[in-house]
Structure 1
Amino acid sequence: MSYTKISALLLFTMTALHWETTIGFVVIDGNCNDVIRLPCKATNQTKKFRYVIWYKVLEIENSPIIKKRGNEVTYFNSTNNLTSVFLGEKETLELHNVQPSDSGTYRCYLAANAGGQNYDSFIGLNISECVQASTVYPSTIIATDSCLAVIDLSTSWAAVSFILISVTKIILCIIAVGVCDQVKFRTRRKQQDVRRNTNGKSSSCKD
């Protein structure tokens, strides 16, 4: 086989491997505080293995998260800031109360039995930013209600005061009219008495 054919075969093999890796890599999107389940695709290759271990792929090295050998489960004190980690069915990695810091690439590695082949698979995780709920201050609501109560009370008192003032004015007008009538009546009566006395004196002088 010529050197050109060997080079072409190697290039084809590398392209095929790269294509398979790109197609097989999946990114899961999640929200803050969700429960996320990352499947281990390596279990599709074999169900017999010595142990399984999950890593978080970092820039320098892979950081171990959890390891299972038979019925024994080991948790690692990694720097992933993962709140709660569990292994589910088919070695699925369960992450509870996820945070944006949990975003990244995860690796599931299956260590084969003696004479077997090791398998691993990769999966991406993208967690959205946490949104904080707006805080409601009860004191503000109470103050607003108090202001409304004061405004309603002031309006009521203003209406009552206006009615009392109006009634008072009417009563004073009636009293004033009555007094004026009494004064006029007494004045006329005095004038009539004066006239009578004057007429009486005139008639006696003529006699």
Structure 2
Amino acid sequence: MSQKVLFIKLLLLHYATQSQTEMKANCAEDVRVKCSSVDTDSMEFLYVAWYKLIEKRTGIIRRGADNKTKLYEPIRSPKPRFGEKHSLVIPSVTPEDSGTYECEIGAKVGHQNQNHEVLLTVHECVTQTDTITTIMNTTQPVPLCPKQEEDMPVMWSIVGYTAVGLTKIVLSLISIWVIQAVRKRSSRRRQQ
């Protein structure tokens, strides 16, 4: 029994030291990804490293306690860098930069290594065209404004959820009616 309790405590400790934060950014802005669960000012560490988790853990940048910085290959352009409190600064983000980033702090002997994950979502880049190109000898009219896609209106969402809810209620009432009919029929058989 005590082994099970110890195992559960170890699992809770493991999940308490690993956390994930979500972050959203607009295209082409500089993003500062913080290693927020860790206070690097008061902690003695051997290194701070940032990784991007794609199919495997891919190194981005690493800084040792001696403040020497190493960039891993392949490096995107413009290059990421360390920011304030060992945050990761990704300049001019694009949707390709979306994903899970991991901050790893390698602690000195006698202390515990720490990891923190950040899920970064970068919105699509929207470019505005300054000129409208018309093609000569075309039989189709050229629209003056680009067609914009609209999100599904809230009303359609409400109608859909209401229809699903009413269907569940009707099915529940039918189930109750069938159960009552079966009970009546079985009680009549017992009485005969």
> TM-score interval w.r.t. the shorter chain?
0.5 to 0.7
**Alignment of 1:121 onto 2:116:** yes
**Alignment of 1:57 onto 2:53:** yes
Q: Who is 1:102 aligned against?
A: 97
**Native 8 Å contact 2:17 2:114 kept in 1:** no
Q: In structure 2, which of residues 19, 38, 43 is the aligned counterpart of residue 43 of structure 1?
A: 38
1:152-177 deviation line (CA, Å, top 9, x unaligned): xxxxxxxxxxxxxxxxxxxxxxxxxx
In structure 2, relative to structure 1, the CA distance for the partners of 1:129 and 1:118 (3 Å cut) is: same
TM-score, length basis structure 2 = 0.58
Give 1:132 deviation, angstroms.
1.5
**Native 8 Å contact 1:83 1:98 kept in 2:** no
SS in 2 for 1:41: coil
Q: Who is 1:85 aligned against?
A: 80
Give 1:47 deviation, angstroms.
2.1
Looking at structure 2, the residues matched to 109 and 82 of structure 1 have their Cα atoms a distance apart, in angstroms, of 23
Segments of structure 1 that go 5 or more residues without pairing to the other structure are 140-207
Greater relative CO, 1 or 2 (CA 8 Å, sep 6+): 2
Looking at structure 2, the residues matched to 82 and 56 of structure 1 have their Cα atoms a distance apart, in angstroms, of 15
Give 1:72 deviation, angstroms.
1.0
In structure 2, relative to structure 1, the CA distance for the partners of 1:90 and 1:131 (3 Å cut) is: same
Q: Who is 1:134 aligned against?
A: 129
In structure 2, relative to structure 1, the CA distance for the partners of 1:42 and 1:12 (3 Å cut) is: closer
In structure 2, relative to structure 1, the CA distance for the partners of 1:8 and 1:52 (3 Å cut) is: closer
TM-score, length basis structure 1 = 0.54
Looking at structure 1, the residues matched to 99 and 77 of structure 2 have their Cα atoms a distance apart, in angstroms, of 12
In structure 2, relative to structure 1, the CA distance for the partners of 1:74 and 1:135 (3 Å cut) is: same
Segments of structure 2 that go 5 or more residues without pairing to the other structure are 135-192
Give 1:112 deviation, angstroms.
1.5
The alignment of Structure 1 onto Structure 2 pairs a total of residues equal to: 133
SS in 2 for 1:134: coil
Question: 1:1-207, aligned counterparts within 5 Å?
Answer: 3=1, 6-7=3-4, 10-11=7-8, 14=11, 18=15, 20=16, 24-44=19-39, 46-59=42-55, 61-69=56-64, 70-78=66-74, 81=76, 83-136=78-131
SS in 2 for 1:90: helix
SS in 2 for 1:101: helix
**What amino acid is the match of 1:96?**
P
**Native 8 Å contact 1:42 1:108 kept in 2:** no
